[in-house]
Amino acid sequence: EDKVVQSPLSLVVHEGDTVTLNCSYEVTNFRSLLWYKQEKKAPTFLFMLTSSGIEKKSGRLSSILDKKELSSILNITATQTGDSAIYLCAVDVGQGAQKLVFGQGTRLTINP
C-alpha cells in the first residue's frame, strides 16, 4: 500500500525561528511530490518537485526532494504568525492520471 509519512505531526516555535518539516514516502510508482499549506479552508499549493536535489524557493519557503532517501523537506525561515497552518505533503502515484496520496500533515504553530 502506498504510504506518505510526515514528521513531526505537530510543532510549536517562536516567531523568527527556522523550521524544517519532513516527508517520507513508500510508493510503487513515483511521479512527483507536492507540498500544500492548509489553513482553515482549502489547501493552497506551494511546490511540486520531480527532480532530486533541485531546490525550489518561494520567498521564505523552500523545498528539496531526495529520491535516494525517498524523502523531501520543507524549510521556512524567519517564521511569522501567518505561517501557522497544517502543511501537507502528497505524492503523485498515478500511472496515467494524477493520483495524490497525502500524508497526515504537520500542524505548525508560530507564537509571537
Partner 1 sequence: NAGVMQNPRHLVRRRGQEARLRCSPMKGHSHVYWYRQLPEEGLKFMVYLQKENIIDESGMPKERFSAEFPKEGPSILRIQQVVRGDSAAYFCASSPRGFHEQYFGPGTRLTVT
Residues that bind partner 1 (CB under 8 A): 4, 31-32, 34, 36, 41-45, 48, 88, 90, 92, 94, 96-105
Nearer to partner 1, 4 or 64 (CB): 4
Nearer to partner 1, 44 or 80 (CB): 44
DSSP characters over 82-104: GG-EEEEEEEE--SSS--EEE--
- Nearest to 48, CA basis, from 3, 100, 85: 100
Backbone angles phi, psi at 51, to 5 degrees: -110, 140
Nearer to partner 1, 17 or 22 (CB): 22
Q: Are strands 43-49 and 100-102 parallel, antiparallel or unpaired?
A: unpaired
Q: What's the closest the beta carbon of residue 70 comes to partner 1, in angstroms?
A: 17
